[in-house]
Structure 1
């Protein structure tokens, strides 16, 4: 009995030491768990059990115990009772991780949505899909290719696949618990949505990508030479650490900052623009905040993504969540169902043309797909590329919106294809080259 008590005491001491040593990291663990739970429950309408067993069931995050208050639409998480964090859902704005300064009585501005319904089928409406049969598509082979993405579910962890050919759905499949109406977090696919807003503003004549960034503090030093183009290409030369395993620039931004648009602003330049390619979610959120310089006021800012892009192409399931300062988290927090993510890809397949309207210049597609120097052909302007042949059996003209844990919207112009895949595993665990080459092989 004495030996047992000693063992328990040693375990408790070791646990206390481990928690004390990693205490700052608990902000990440409990913060991630609370935020992800609140959004998954109140945006995607999934059960807390499903979120705990799947999304939050990853190393360290699974240590957090999370409770959901459906009445107040909140989720709270803590690790062994330490570092409790709370996320609050706000209608029209999504969920936000809050701190002690959050005013529950404050009613923030919300976007004005224009969800005009029509009787058109996909993609120009939400009234089902066409029954077109293409003679050059081997549907049996295509079905096999799509189904392969769902095999070994504990490894590949695919949630949805949609294949659109010449603007029409030719294959679509979902994992249990997911369907055409289930919003899915795009993570960094949001960056590509954000970039598109700049393409729209440029087409409207409100800016040019070569314009210098309008930040007063930067005019006093070398940062004055940073242009919007440098930010879109992740070539600003600004210091930034994108490390999710510890307390870093990116984790402090997501789990400790009230205004994520300011996280990159104070960073010093460690190189001249175009000298360094450095992927930065802080840069994307900086771009999100800078949008306000080209719009009339805060309400216009909140309306702009929806009125100029999202609702205009019928992506009515999409919501871009905001931070505590009510700025869009343009790096990571857009949710939409799989069909709406496919519409975004189709917009690019059609070079900005949508059902009789031109949303951005055809030249914009050339711009975002031009490889950024230093990226070895894998990155353009807030879009990922296959120009360097990272997927050897897939056409080099492929470009895509990519997100954490394997969220993808692939656009392959030479094949008239848009392919959406969502899940909880990314390349190479989920073999993108194999997945896409099998789909392409089904189209003669």
Structure 2
């Protein structure tokens, strides 16, 4: 069979490429138009990102498959609320439970007491039962409690769930006097030796605050002392008028998991930390304390003082944030089932997402929240 002329071979090759070339010329698939509710989420043209793109990324938090149920989103940029959206049945006045986001508020409260000279970071903490001769718990410092490395035998999860220290303290045999139950647990490691996340530890911190503020064991007096301090030093100065803290029967703040507030008030607190403890020109919390809260602890690079950090760790799965997609300076308040206040100082951002998502859904959810942060350049 004679060879085809070079022109013929070239023509055949070009014809073979036509379907692929035609496909290359086709426009990319168009996404569905945004709803009016999605567009209305972005409140200003000065949002710091392209308005349509920001609205779409926020819409994904509500509409994308596999993320669970988003109930509220608030985004602050440069100290102003630039985007806000709620699912049906929720609005700007809805009080949302904090779950473990409360831990970061408790840490700020402890910081104020340290600044007042009423507590010292590296001293043994004022818990009477730990001060008996020979009790190893007397070696635990305030810093170690704040960094979740007390060495106490606390378990945040159990199988079955009702055997965990958290569940027993909150709902079973410890519920009437939570701090007494948490403080009665034995040591399982040397103080400071290992990181173990624990809601029980934060309730101990709340008890320490109450003991500093009053000598009384009367539940009403304890509750009143802490409540007055929180309102006078934290909530009122920050205009967080919605916050409702919960207390146990002994008058101890359930500072590890049970506060209630609007999405805007959670955002306001996150932005207060973004500003290193300053609000409208008043330094309510020392800058150094916020820097401590957001610095890695010796036993966990992704945790500071009751605050989650966007730092790489040895964790290969289930990192609480997204160190590969956002600045290392990002930190967060994180609560059970997908409550987030994510703060990025370099991007002037505070992002609140509240809702209900299981563990696999939260993995996908974190990437969607990272998409929002990615709209903003770092180091602005």
TM class by shorter-chain length? Answer: 0.7 to 0.9
* CA 1:270–1:131: 2 relative to 1, 3 Å: closer
1:349 to 261, 266, 274: 274
| Inter-partner Cα distance in structure 1 for 2:285 and 2:279 | 10
* CA 1:356–1:135: 2 relative to 1, 3 Å: closer
> What residue number does 2:39 align with?
none
2:75 to 163, 167, 174: 163
TM-score, L = length of structure 2 = 0.78
Give me the CA root mean square deviation.
2.1
Larger radius of gyration: 2
* CA 1:264–1:226: 2 relative to 1, 3 Å: same
Q: What number of residue pairs does the alignment pair up?
A: 315
1:394 to 300, 316, 326: 326
> What residue number does 1:363 align with?
288
- What's the secondary structure of 1:149's corresponding residue? helix
2:205 to 257, 277, 287: 287
- Confirm or deny: 8 A CA contact 1:370 1:380 kept in the other structure: yes
- Confirm or deny: 8 A CA contact 2:70 2:356 kept in the other structure: yes
- What's the secondary structure of 1:429's corresponding residue? helix
> What residue number does 1:414 align with?
346
* Contiguous gaps of at least 5 residues in structure 1: 1-129
| Inter-partner Cα distance in structure 1 for 2:47 and 2:210 | 49
Give every structure 1 segment of 4 or more consecutive aligned residues whose post-TM-superposition deviation is greater than 3 Å: 130-133, 152-155
Q: Which moved more, 1:415-424 or 1:218-227?
A: 218-227
Higher relative contact order, chain-length normalized (CA < 8 Å, sep 6+): 2
- What's the secondary structure of 1:160's corresponding residue? strand
Q: Equivalences for 1:201-350 in 2 at 5 Å?
A: 201-219=113-131, 220=133, 221-243=135-157, 245-256=161-172, 257-296=175-214, 298=222, 299-350=224-275
Q: Equivalences for 1:419-430 in 2 at 5 Å?
A: 419-425=351-357, 428-430=360-362
- Kindly state the Cα deviation for residue 132 of structure 1 after the two structures are TM-superposed: 5.7
- Kindly state the Cα deviation for residue 135 of structure 1 after the two structures are TM-superposed: 7.5
| Inter-partner Cα distance in structure 2 for 1:181 and 1:241 | 35
- What's the secondary structure of 2:62's corresponding residue? coil
- What's the secondary structure of 1:234's corresponding residue? coil
> What residue number does 1:15 align with?
none
TM-score, L = length of structure 1 = 0.67
* CA 1:357–1:167: 2 relative to 1, 3 Å: same
| Inter-partner Cα distance in structure 2 for 1:366 and 1:401 | 15
| Inter-partner Cα distance in structure 2 for 1:291 and 1:133 | 44
- Confirm or deny: 8 A CA contact 2:329 2:346 kept in the other structure: yes
Deviation track 1:326-351 (CA, whole Å, cap 9, x = no partner) reads: 22111111100100000000100111
1:439 to 339, 351, 372: 372
- Confirm or deny: 8 A CA contact 1:136 1:443 kept in the other structure: yes
- Confirm or deny: 8 A CA contact 1:394 1:436 kept in the other structure: no
* CA 1:387–1:161: 2 relative to 1, 3 Å: same
* Contiguous gaps of at least 5 residues in structure 2: 1-41, 217-221, 314-318
- Confirm or deny: 8 A CA contact 1:191 1:382 kept in the other structure: yes
| Inter-partner Cα distance in structure 1 for 2:43 and 2:368 | 24
